[in-house]
Amino acid sequence: MLAAEVSLAQGASQITHAGEFTYPEGAGLQQPQALGAALAEFLKREGFTAHGAVFGIPAKWVLSKFKEVPPVAPETAAEMLRLQVEADFSPELKDLVYDFAGESSPSQARSVLLVATPQRHVDQARAIAEAAKLNLTAIIPTAAALASATTPAAKDALVLAFTGSAVEFIARHDGGTAALRHLGASSSPSAVLAGETRRAVMQLPRNGTAGSNGSSVNGNSRGEVVLWDDVGVDPSVHVVLGEALGVTVKRGELRTLGAGEAPVGRRGYASAVALAMAGLAEEAPPVDFLHSRLAPPKKPKVRREVVLGIVTAVVIVLGVVAAYFDLQGKEKKLAAGQADLKSQEPRIKAARAEVDTISYAQNWHAGKPQSLECFRDIVKALSTPDDGHTYITNFTLHETVKPPPSGSKTLPKADWSGVFSGKSTENQNVLSLLDRIKSNKRFTDVKLLFNTNVNRTGNEVSFSITFKYVPGE
């Protein structure tokens, strides 16, 4: 966890403290009270004095969807979006907190970004802040806060953020957040990150806010992407990303956020500083899951004195009449919202089909297929100068994923088992092939199932070999 403290004095902001808090053993997000207590000790030890805090969450915890809002008042726009959120996200995703980035207009249609995050992340942040004795003022996607602080005066901009755990992409349009994407781990190859970045740009809505013509991206006439580097990215990555998008990659500088330079010996705290600046700003942050504009309106609490004061028949009759007309008005509003939602069903159906297609395609990633290593090792054992008469007729490989032990932070392990059959001119060739496979340490439990003649002359034999395979890291 990165922490930065920014103070505001005489109209000027300044970074006063910055530090990296490492989770102690036995205290993680699943133990928020223990983690908050350890965080309190860390802040005290490092000299932090602020009590107000803004927490940032990663983009991979955030679901997002672009929405068009007709010309309506802000209250009506929030009501419409509140009615649509259940349909816009999978019903399998329960207990979500919703909000949206952008502003509606009574005079013209606007585009907003509908976002959601699991309720458990909000609850964990609250519990950590309470245990650390911090006044939690906002919960913001870190990348959204960084993009707002990067170009506060620019209506359109593209921002890439490299953090210790991930690479995140943010697009701004008309001064609001238009896209928020998790692109992968910060250690991913530059070619993979370039492809994911270009894909994120091309998936922006086609209403004049997306696309690249070599001189502008997402309406950004300057044709540049601001890159924030908290981990020390190789300069060659800048070149690869710029070539992929056809724009200039500009490196972000901490002083441009308006809070001066970091303390001596500290670097890579742009995201944390941007969150602190959002907490000091007079305007509301672009997204705040702690104070969501889509939160159901709170029912007013009726005081007991008021209830006891309603004792006359006239007041009761007036209350019933008022409730009746209020119910009629809400039913009309609900009917209008349901009619609008029904008119959107074709688009929702098409969008769900697109999501299913993309989800299926994501499984075919550009990583290194481990099954290819197994096939390569078998071909290598088969291809020897002494044996040119042995060949494989059938090859089967199975993967069994073992879940890690409960509470473990390691990735799931996969066991590979397979069998292949083939033919050769001599039994000795088959036995030699068996020995070469066994000599490879990645093959275990290698067995020859059968080895029989396939014709009467005995000059051709068939065989079948089973094995287990351990891929490389």
pLDDT digit string, tens, across residues 87-126? 676 665 668 888 888 787 888 887 888 888 888 899 999 9
pLDDT at residue 222, rounded to an integer: 47
Longest dimension (CA), the chain: 112
pLDDT tens digits, one per residue of 50-100? 989 999 989 888 888 878 888 888 888 788 887 777 667 666 566 888 888
Helices within 383-442 (DSSP H only): 427-439
pLDDT at residue 91, rounded to an integer: 60
For the segment 281-296, the average pLDDT, to the nearest whole number, is 82
pLDDT at 48 over 60: yes
For 298, how many CA atoms within 13 A lie in the half-sphere containing its CB?
Answer: 6
pLDDT tens digits, one per residue of 371-430? 788 889 999 988 887 777 888 999 999 887 766 676 666 656 677 899 999 998 888 888
CB neighbour class for 10 (10 Å; exposed up to 12, middle 13-18, buried from 19): exposed
pLDDT at 456 over 70: no
CA 433: distance to chain centroid?
47
pLDDT at residue 214, rounded to an integer: 38
pLDDT at 227 over 50: yes
The three-class DSSP label of residue 386 is coil
pLDDT tens digits, one per residue of 12-35? 888 888 888 899 888 888 888 989
- Residue 434 Cα distances to 164, 196, 381, 422, angstroms: 46, 43, 9, 12
**pTM for this structure?**
0.59
Please tell me the least confidently modeled range out of 48-57, 208-217, 238-247, 404-413: 208-217
Which pair of structure tokens corresponds to residue 201?
């740009």
Which of 248, 182, 190, 195 lies closest to 220 in space, CA to CA?
248
pLDDT at 265 over 70: no
Please tell me the least confidently modeled range out of 249-263, 389-403, 448-462: 448-462
> Residue 157, Cβ neighbours under 10 Å: how many?
25
